[in-house]
Structure formats: structure tokens, C-alpha cells
Amino acid sequence: MRYAPAILVGRFVRFLARLRKPGGGSAVPGLVVNRLAPGYLPHALGSFPDGLVVVSGSSGKSTTTKMLVGVLRAHDRSVFTNPSTANIAQGLTSALLERADVRGRVPGDLAVLEMDEGHGARVTAGLHPDVVVLTNVMVDQIDRFHDSEAVAGMLGRIASRATKSIVLNADDAYLVQVASAAGRGVAVERFGVTGEVLEAAPRGLGNARTSGERLEAGEGVRIVALDGDVTTLEADGRTVDVRLPSRGIHYAVDAAAAIAGARAILGRDFDLDAAARSISEMPAVFGRGERVNVRGTDVEFVLVQNPSSFQLNVDGIAPGTEQILFAMGSDVRDPSYFWPVDASGLGSVRIVSGSKAHEAALQLAYDGVGIDRVEPDLPTALDDFLALPEPSTGVKTIVFTADSMRRTRAHLGLAEAKEDA
């Protein structure tokens, strides 16, 4: 009961926050609880009988986490997980408060948590996760992390806390180095692509550094084929087809990461067919190729967060998509960050919007993308875009950075889909 007072205060703060913003989430309750009871977070995360799993990396961690949770639930495991926007310390604590009893305990067999690279390195310093899943190292958030070596160091610190298994991308040269530093008694599980799949990928895998060697048969979970939104995965001497939530090799890598993670967690209880069915039935994660009916028309949302995800997602947009809105927001402090991306695959864009609309339009124009209109006011751009006649090919597609994604959601009245805890 030592945490009961802090939990009650946190719940009261959450009540006040929701009075101010009905239906919205807030990290403030978690911030308050962490100040009042600094030991609560490790206490709660250490209370799950089957342990703790941490998923981190530059890109793909939200999708990988949701896939992994789905696979574990398909194996009749009760799983607590955090919303993808609650991947830092105060957000994690706020998510725990949603389900915790007055003693601070949260129901579930195990916890599977997405963690931001930087905050995760600090949070896990006080934790002992059973399994750590690492997706990749990319040139990401240069205003926070500055270089890929810094990101690799943070992920290495997270991995060093694993007590049973580290599951990592064997095609990422930085993560291969992390594997070499695994502690004694900690198993290293791998996932990756075959040479044929890598050769067929027009832009590679997006990693900051791609390793020079591919996994051989029997060495882990391998992506052996990819056709649109269907990938063929190989594990334990068998292959299965998995339908992905959207097109693109990065989604296939996320699926391989989730299956490799589930194998490490479940051991002999792992069922490859059940895992494949679970992922195939999974809807897209918040903004990651997600398709929603808005005002009577289907709209696909595509989030771009760094040059690699920008490139892979642009390449993954269905050919012939004729109505695209591109919105770059204030989260992109220096738009030149995205200039290495070849955006010519967009073909043409109906509207460019967001607080960095003119900078975005300049890049698109240099890449030969046709632009019908630049409208910095995002609500106006969204209303006008949705009012366009239905496209003759493809669906209306909105490509946005994180800030514009949040503003789009708010303007359209789309509450973030919360993962079942």
C-alpha cells in the first residue's frame, strides 16, 4: 500500500486533466506520480508474473509492439501494453494508472512496452526486462540524438538490461555490435531479410548502416519473399504467408521482429501459424498506413518521421494514387533534414500544407512533384482536400509529419485508437 497515496493523487490529476480536455490523454498524472513516488514505475513493471518485454528502435517500434501484443494474445496470454504515444517515463506511468489497483499492481500475465530510445535508456536503468526487441538504427530526430552512434549507444544500454533474450535486426550493422556485447546467459535471437529480398528493395532497408551478411536458413526469422502487402516468413524450417497492414518492406521487417520476439518469449508454446493469422488480421497502427472513413470517403494516413521512413513510405504508396495531401508541421525544425529523400514517387500532390508548407513545397518541386496548391492553414487544406470528388484511382492519401498528424486528428475529430491494455 506504500504507493496508494501517490496513485490516488495521480488519478485525481487525471480526472482534472480530462475535465479540461474530454477524451484526451495526458502525461501529467504520470509526471506527478513519478515525483511523489519515484519507485512506482519499476515496482509496477516488475509485478507481472511472466515478465517484462521492451521494444525500441529508431523506427517501426509502434507497429512491432502492436503485432507482438496481438501474437501473444493469440497464444492466450494476458498482456498489458502502452499506447504508442505513451513511450516515455511519465506517459508509461499514466498508462499504468489507467489499470492499476490501489496497491499499484496492474492485471496481466506480462507487459510489452514500446519505449522511446532516449527515454528508454533512462527508464530501463531501473528495470530488468526479460526480453528486449530492437528494430533498427536510423538517422532519426537529429535535434535530439545528433547522430546514429548516439542512438546505437542508447539501444545498447536498453539491451544490456535484458535478463533472458535480446531480439534484434540482423541486417542492422549497429545492432550486430549490440549483440556482440550481450551479457552471459542472455540469448540473442535474430530476424532479417534474404539476399534476394534485399536486392529487390529499391531503397534498401533504411538502416543507418546495413550489415554485409544475411541470415542463413535456420538462424532466425527470415523474410524470404515480399509481394505488395504480403510477405513470406521463414522460421523453424517452415514458411508462412503474412498479410501486412500496409505496403512496404519496413512492415515486413516489423512482422519478422514481432514473430522473433514472440518465439523468444513463448519458447515451446510458440505457434507459427497462430502468429501469422494474428498479424494478418491486425489493422494498421495509428497513422501508419491506417485507412479510415472520414466524412463518407476513405482516407489513408501515412506518417513520416525521419528521412528513412519518409523514403520507405513514399515508395510504399500504391501506384496510381491521384489525390495526395502533404503536410509538414513544426516538429520538423529544419526541413533540410528531409532533402536526401527522393519524393518523386509521389508524382503529384493536390495540396501542400502545415506550418512548413512552403519549405515542403520547395523540396517536392525540386524532386519534380507536381503541386496544385500550397495552403499553410491545415484545417482549410483538410476541408478542401476532403471536398474533392472521389479519385478515379486509389484513395485520398494524407502524408504528414507528427505535428501535422496530431492536428489532423484533432480537426477531423478522430480520437487516437488506444491499444487494449
Can you give the three-state secondary structure of 257-273, one letter per residue?
HHHHHHHHHHHHHCCHH
Give first-to-last CA distance, the chain, whole Å: 23
Q: Which long-range contacts (CB under 8 A, 24 or more apart) does 333-341 make?
A: 333/143, 334/142, 334/143, 335/359, 335/360, 335/363, 337/142, 337/306, 337/307, 338/304, 338/307, 338/310, 338/363, 339/363, 340/307, 341/307, 341/310, 341/311, 341/314
Per-residue pLDDT tens digits of the chain, which is 421 residues long: 677 777 777 777 777 766 666 555 567 777 777 777 777 777 788 889 999 999 999 888 989 999 999 999 999 999 999 875 555 667 777 777 777 777 767 888 999 999 888 788 888 888 899 999 999 998 655 555 567 888 899 999 999 999 999 999 999 999 999 888 787 789 999 999 999 999 998 788 888 899 999 999 999 999 999 998 899 999 999 999 999 988 889 899 999 999 999 999 999 999 999 999 999 998 876 667 788 899 999 999 999 888 888 888 888 887 789 999 999 999 888 888 888 899 998 999 999 999 999 999 999 999 999 999 999 999 999 999 999 999 998 899 999 998 999 899 889 988 654 444 4
Instruction: Sketch the domain layout of the chain as residue ranges.
Output: 4-280, 288-412
Strands 165-169, 288-294: pairing is unpaired
- What's residue 420's pLDDT? 47
Chain length of the chain: 421
**Strand 324-327 with 348-353, pairing:** parallel
Q: How far is CA 163 from CA 159, 173, 181, in A?
A: 9, 23, 13
Q: By CB neighbour count within 10 A (0-12 exposed, 13-18 middle, 19+ buried), where does 165 fall?
A: buried
What type of residue is 285? V
Residue type at position 169 = N
The CA distance from 87 to 17, in Å, is 19
Non-local CB neighbours of 413 within 8 Å, separated by 6+ positions: none
Number of C-alpha atoms within 13 angstroms, CB side, residue 175?
30
Which of these, 388, 207, 387, 382, lies nearest to 301 by C-alpha position? 382
Question: What's the CA gap between 197 and 38, in Å, rounded?
Answer: 47
In this prediction, residue 143 carries a pLDDT of 52
Quote the pLDDT of residue 20.
66
**Cα→Cα distances 316→264, 305, 391, Å:** 30, 15, 19
Asked whether 168 and 253 are in contact (CB, 8 A), the reply is no
**Distance between CA atoms of residues 401 and 143, nearest Å:** 15
Cα angle 241, 243, 249 (rounded to 5 degrees) comes to: 95
pLDDT of residue 230: 95
Whole-number pLDDT of residue 262: 98
| H or E element that contains 351 | strand 348-353
Give CA angle at 372 (370, 374), nearest 5°.
Answer: 110
Structurally, what CATH architecture does the domain formed by 288-412 represent? Alpha-Beta Complex (3.90)
- Model pTM above 0.75: yes
Q: Would you say the CATH fold of 288-412 matches that of 4-280?
A: no
Q: Which CATH number fits domain 4-280: 3.20.20.80, 3.40.1190.10, 3.40.50.1220, 3.40.50.720?
A: 3.40.1190.10
Task: Check residue 246 and give its pLDDT.
Answer: 81
At residue 318, the pLDDT reads: 78
